[in-house]
Structure 1
Amino acid sequence: MKKVYPLAFFICILFLIFYAIFAYTGIIFRAETLEEPIGSISGWCERVSSGIFREPMNAFSNIAFMVSGLFIFKILNSDKTNNENKFYGLNKISILYGTAVIFLGPGSMLMHGTHTEWGGWADNLSMMMFIIFPWLYNLKEMGRWSENRFIYSYFFIVIAYALARWFFGGRLGIGLDLFGLSIGLWIISEYLFRFWSTKVRWISGFVGFIVAFIFGITPFEIFSNFDNYWWVLLFWIPAIFSSNKSRTTRKYTPWFFLGTLSFLLAYAIWLQGQPYSPSWFTDSWCNPDSFIQPHAFWHYITAFSTWSFFLFLRTEKQI
């Protein structure tokens, strides 16, 4: 177990070396799409380069996720085992979280660096591997799942998503935005984790509508276009599986709120930093040839969010 941190560090370095080799030789670009030719402005503001990264700053900024994940492993590596908290010391769950954080880096780097369909697939997969972790872990705690059941459930969802995304595209062939849904499931399950009762359990799904509203989807829009938003029914997944009050408690200040607020800030930047969605922010900050790229800050800030949520989970204590 103590070799996890140096192994993770070695794998990160190895990935960067192999990326550079395959990019320098052109192998990695053989399936490059022609939608954004070299010299054009990408959908994320940066000018498309002929170098080893098609979007240099947007790609390179993903190292922030690797740094965050490596710091997580470094701390876990130096921890003493704590049977009351799975985010102290190295165990299956803490290793899985750290790995999911690190993989956000290579996943997104492959998308911004290569402009290939498979790079986009890797990017989406990396985001899913992170975002399903917290709500599934909450269900584990409230459903009294074993560690193995949690791990098996996690990889079942990841593999199913990977295959569906590869063969059927971003909406998985059924009109489902699993990433967006997972944000809602996380907040719903966190609400249940904090306020569980029999009554709260079954009304918790309505919290998802509040989350959707924050992200710009109103209840009127949902019910006016229910064919497109049928997945709101899945807001009750936490209620179905959270059959018991959690045996642990967490401290939400400051790390949960810092993680949430930093993610919302990053999301606002993500929405605005696109040249084909004109706004004051885009007009002011979308400079294709600048070293300062708005989308790169989405990466930096969300990397901080992953670190904040790790520290938040470390506050968990037995009741």
Structure 2
Amino acid sequence: MARPLAVAGTVAVVSTALLVAAVAQGWLGPDVGRGANFCEAPHDGWIRQPANALSNVGFVVAGLLIAVRADRLPRDGVMSTTVATSYACVVVLLGPGSAAMHATQSAWGGHLDMLSMYLVAGFAAAWAWVRWTRRGTTAFLMAYAACVAACELVGLWSDPVPVVHYSGNLAFGLLLVAAVVLETRIWRRGETTTVFANGVVSLTAMLVAFTIWLLTNAGMCDPHSLLQGHAVWHLLCAVAAYWLFRLYASERSVNTASGRLTRAEVV
């Protein structure tokens, strides 16, 4: 099996190259103002929102750092190298996916942005659920697919929703809330040990990022500045994704009266 860094690195190079080609050739369609509500004024040239687009490199870096650590998981850990590598690739794809929208402000760019968000939130929710219910690989894949499909269906609702504005954002947020609740219940159940502080760091980064997202959407920003609140949102979400993996990587199996959760059961 290829090493995690080689796999994630290949995903990073190929997805970024495809994004560059898509932007240069106009494959994603015309600028329809998708993402214009995230404050940054559109610029002339290839990249319509430079700060918001280029800040997505944080996700690529976070995914590659996850891949490096995926090769050094503990022998008694719950997460396998295969699952860790998959998560690293999902985090990497957040970068080009989000950048597609901010670079082009196109409709297809917006779809790729939302899909990348669904992929990472769906992973977090499905991985938490499969461990909570003590299920295996097939259940994880089915739950993951169901989460992403549900988000796509909810995203078809065109009416605005309170606070987060778009139904797809609501679906993304609900999956993350579900993941937090399940991770907390897994920790309290005591069948595995984790460095729970890693999860606290991840959640804190996400909450700070969401606060900045709300303030920026409320108009507390300068459209012509290279310092954009939405760009900070990207960077903090990358931090949150990395520390979420640190929580996963710290999880070890322990024997309990109710059974034992082992890597073999959740691969």
TM-score where L is the length of structure 2: 0.82
Alignment of 1:248 onto 2:162: no
In the alignment, the residues of structure 1 paired with residue 200 and residue 155 of structure 2 have an alpha-carbon distance, to the nearest angstrom, of 34
Which residue does 2:43 correspond to in 1? 49
The verdict on how the C-alpha distance between 1:303 and 1:127 changes in structure 2, with shifts beyond 3 A counting, is: same
Q: Alignment partner of 1:161: what SS?
A: helix
The change in CA–CA distance for 1:188 and 1:152 in structure 2 (over 3 A counts) is same
Tell me whether 1:2 sits opposite 2:27 in the alignment.
no
* Structure 1 Cα separation of the partners of residues 16 and 98 of structure 2: 13
In structure 2, the CA distance between the partners of 1:167 and 1:267, relative to structure 1 (3 Å rule), is closer
Q: Aligned AA for 1:62?
A: N
- The partner residue of 1:84 within 58, 77, 81 is 77
Deviation at residue 165 of structure 1 after TM alignment: 5.5
- 1:155 aligned to 139, 145, 152, which one? 145
Kept in 2, the 8 Å contact 1:121–1:166? The answer is no
Q: Which amino acid aligns with 2:31?
A: E
**TM-aligned CA deviation for residue 288 of structure 1:** 2.3
8 A contact 1:107–1:122 mirrored in 2: yes
**Which residue of the partner structure matches residue 226 of structure 2?**
291
User: Which structure is higher in RCO with an 8 Å CA cutoff and minimum separation 6?
Assistant: 2
Deviation of 1:130 after TM superposition, in Å, equals: 1.1
Q: Are positions 1:145 and 2:135 aligned together?
A: yes
The answer as to whether partners of 1:141 and 1:247 remain within 8 angstroms in 2 is: no
In structure 2, do the counterparts of structure 1 residues 3 and 47 end up closer, same or farther at CA, with 3 Å as the change threshold?
same
Instruction: Using the TM superposition, give the Cα deviation of residue 261 of structure 1 relative to its aligned residue in structure 2, in angstroms.
Output: 1.0
Q: Give the match for residue 174 of structure 2.
A: 181
Tell me the CA shift for residue 58 of structure 1.
0.1
Counterpart for residue 221 of structure 1: none
Q: Is the 8 A contact 1:273 1:294 kept in 2?
A: yes
CA distance in 2, matches of 1:27, 1:136: 32
Could you tell me how far 1:123 is from its partner in structure 2? 1.3
Q: Which amino acid aligns with 2:85?
A: I
SS of structure 2 residue aligned to 1:59: helix
Identity, % of aligned pairs? 25
Paired residue type of 1:128: Y
| Distance of 1:159 and 1:52 partners within structure 2 | 32
Of structures 1 and 2, the larger Rg is shown by: 1
TM-score (norm 1): 0.70
Please name the residue that 2:261 is paired with: none
1:72 counterpart = 2:62: no
**Structure 1, gaps ≥5 residues long:** 37-41, 197-245
Alignment equivalent of 1:60, drawn from 43, 54, 58 = 54
Structure 2: which 5+ residue stretches go unaligned?
161-166, 255-267
Q: CA deviation at 1:26?
A: 3.2
Residues 127 and 250 of structure 1, relative CA distance in 2, 3 Å threshold: same
Tell whether the 8 Å contact from 2:34 to 2:106 is kept in structure 1 after alignment: no
Residues 68 and 119 of structure 1: is their aligned pair in 2 closer, same or farther, counting only changes over 3 Å? Answer: same
Q: Deviations over 1:204-223 (max 9, x none)?
A: xxxxxxxxxxxxxxxxxxxx
**Matched AA of 1:113:** A
Match of 1:214 in 2: none
Quote the RMSD (CA, aligned, Å): 2.6
Cα distance in structure 1, aligned partners of 2:3 and 2:56:
24
**Pairing 1:267–2:214 present:** no
2-side partners of 1:114 and 1:65: how far apart?
A: 19
Structure 2: how far apart are the matches of 1:134 and 1:125? 14
Classify 1:114/1:149 alpha carbon distance in 2 versus 1 (closer, same or farther; 3 Å): same
What residue in structure 1 maps to residue 101 of structure 2?
111
Partner of 1:50, secondary structure, is coil
Q: CA deviation at 1:109?
A: 0.9
Q: Which string of whole-angstrom CA distances, capped at 9 and with x for unpartnered residues, describes residues 133-189 of structure 1?
A: 233222212212012221222123324533x25755588xxx783212213212221
For 2:238 and 2:143, the matched residues in 1 are separated by 25
Matches within 5 A, 1:114-263: 114-162=104-152, 164=153, 168-169=157-158, 177-196=170-189, 247-253=191-197, 255-263=198-206
How big is each residue's C-alpha offset from its partner over 1:195-240, in whole Å with a ceiling of 9 and x where there is no partner? 34xxxxxxxxxxxxxxxxxxxxxxxxxxxxxxxxxxxxxxxxxxxx
2:174 maps to amino acid: L
Q: Which moved more, 1:54-63 or 1:110-119?
A: 110-119
**1:9–1:70 CA contact under 8 A, matched in 2:** yes
